[in-house]
Structure 1
């Protein structure tokens, strides 16, 4: 059980890191002249198509799935698409540093949701980890070095909606139709994400010439890191750990965002942000610490 737990932890960390890499690729796509609707829509559409093509090689894994499972997975996947949708809208009216800070409220939201759903209070280590992650997020976001001029009620609500959707996605990843193969689960979830996003952002990129101008490259790249790897990794790892721990582990996304932005986009990164990254990583490490009474449960 201990080996499986650590494997699950690494899967969640890799899934969060994939989301972190994604934001840099999105910015590069914008620099190449593509709109947010084109980037987001093509990402979810290519992701869904790719997963369905991969699922054709494992049709036997679809056996045993019920209509109830399908509906639950589609609804659950919609939260993945809605996370990106609300986050994009918040960026239109907020500075990026503030929008990121609001999105990362999923760390404490996940702990509280796990507490309410599992009836298991967070440990002292988890409370400490949550405090470290939030403190590190404030520093790493760069908000202390910026201004608070672009703050609006609409932007704050949208940012918190993105955080709520991401929290829900993490929670359902560990609970919905866990008897199915991870590929089957992620395929249906990404299908739900595509349906949600494309209903809000019609796929005009299919006929406006954007694909011929190179959008296909970004669609493939973004679908791999945004719609294929993360849902699959979360679907495989989340059932083996608590929701609160998964939420804290998901905070590794922000350090990856900052490192990739500094290396690939040459965005300036101050000393305070690097301190924030170190604090976040310390919080992630603390989140796995357990009281002696609980640690013994995983030593057999």
Structure 2
């Protein structure tokens, strides 16, 4: 563990694995009768409280720093954080209709959507390796979602919500890497969580007024907040600086197989050979996009 790259890689892998485990817990909460709005609301509220405590304990201001971050940066982070809240809502609704293994594949579409967004914003044509990776991800998705098997009936509501989650997640990733980078990572996470909690509250409260079981906080809220909004930003913040961005992206993709294995172990979801081939293709596409040697050879 004296090797900083190894240490950083393990921390990032643990952070991505936390995200991967999250959806299985959501499905288990569904099985106990809780709604997607109860689940999302409890996760965001407890996650916000957790990040406030983390900032109070670990974020120490330097004497040269201003007493408060500038208002414009705060508002930008809160606005960006709305995509964080929307991602949770869209994704959790999605897995009500489709298995976890397919839901996480839909969320991974954020990889190629990010390439398109980068090309539009940067007004620059993607490299050949990225174009190849995009088509590989699309092909892997066709296999991983069993679209070739007529015996598999997918609920297209789940697919649609999953794609919306991927769009929103892409915005979250972009904002996390570009908005108010001069602030401490924990503080940036906190203000994004404030924005996410506000949008989730606005959307959820009308439904929560009709049905709100407070037991969600006791049974699942803390677990969901821990694995969804507290541990990942801490682990990523500690691990990412020790490794390069490309390696970080590759290691973060461990979220996909972890989610599938968790669903297999705890939910008894069956994943056939064709689906595993699709998942492997998606993971290889992520590697191709982020390994410099492949990028150079495909130019």
The answer, yes or no, to whether TM exceeds 0.5 is yes
1:81 and 2:107 matched = no
Deviations 1:247-288 (A, max 9, x none): 777654332221111122222121112222322222222222
Matched, 1:167 2:170: yes
Aligned 8 A contact 1:12 1:246 in 2: yes
Give a deviation string over 1:154-184, Cα, whole Å, max 9, x none.
x665443322211100101111111111111
Paired with 1:235 and 1:196, the residues of 2 have a C-alpha distance of 24
Q: For 2:60, what is the secondary structure of its paired residue?
A: helix
Deviation at 1:39, TM superposition (A): 1.3
Instruction: Give the TM-score of the pair, scaled to structure 2.
Output: 0.78
Count of aligned positions: 287
Specify the SS of the correspondent of 2:172: helix
Which aligned pairs between 1:9-24 and structure 2 lie closer than 5 A? 14-24=14-24
Which residue in 1 is equivalent to 2:185? 182
Partner of 2:130: 126
Secondary structure of 1:201 counterpart: helix
Q: Which runs of 4+ in 1 moved over 6 A?
A: 3-11, 203-206, 244-249, 292-295
Contact 2:51 2:230 in 1 (8 A): yes
Q: Does 1:277 align with 2:287?
A: no
2:71 matched residue in structure 1: 67
Cα distance in 1 for partners of 2:125, 2:12 equals: 21
Instruction: From the superposition, tell whether residues 157 and 223 of structure 1 become closer, same or farther in structure 2 (CA, over 3 Å).
Output: same
How far apart, in 1, do the equivalents of 2:131 and 2:139 lie?
12
* Secondary structure of residue in 2 paired with 1:202: helix
State how far apart, in whole Å, the 1-side matches of 2:181 and 2:10 are: 19
- What's 1:298 paired with? none
- Distance change in 2, residues 1:252/1:132 (3 Å): farther
Unaligned runs of 5+ in 2: none
1:85-234 maps to which residues of 2 (within 5 A)?
Answer: 85-91=89-95, 95-96=98-99, 102-145=106-149, 146-148=151-153, 150-151=155-156, 158-202=161-205, 210-211=213-214, 213=215, 215-232=217-234
Tell me the distance in 2 between the aligned counterparts of 1:127 and 1:12: 26
Structure 1 residues not aligned, in runs of 5+ = 296-300
Which residue is equivalent to 2:35?
35
Aligned to 1:268: 270
State the SS of the aligned residue for 2:292. coil
Q: 1:293 to 1:220 in 2, by over 3 A?
A: closer
Q: Structure 1's 199 and 183: CA in aligned 2 closer, same or farther, altered over 3 A?
A: same
Offset at 1:6? 9.2
Partners of 1:41 and 1:201 within 8 A in 2: yes
Measured on the aligned residues, the alpha-carbon RMSD in Å equals: 3.7
Give the Cα separation in 2 of the matches to 1:9 and 1:164.
Answer: 27
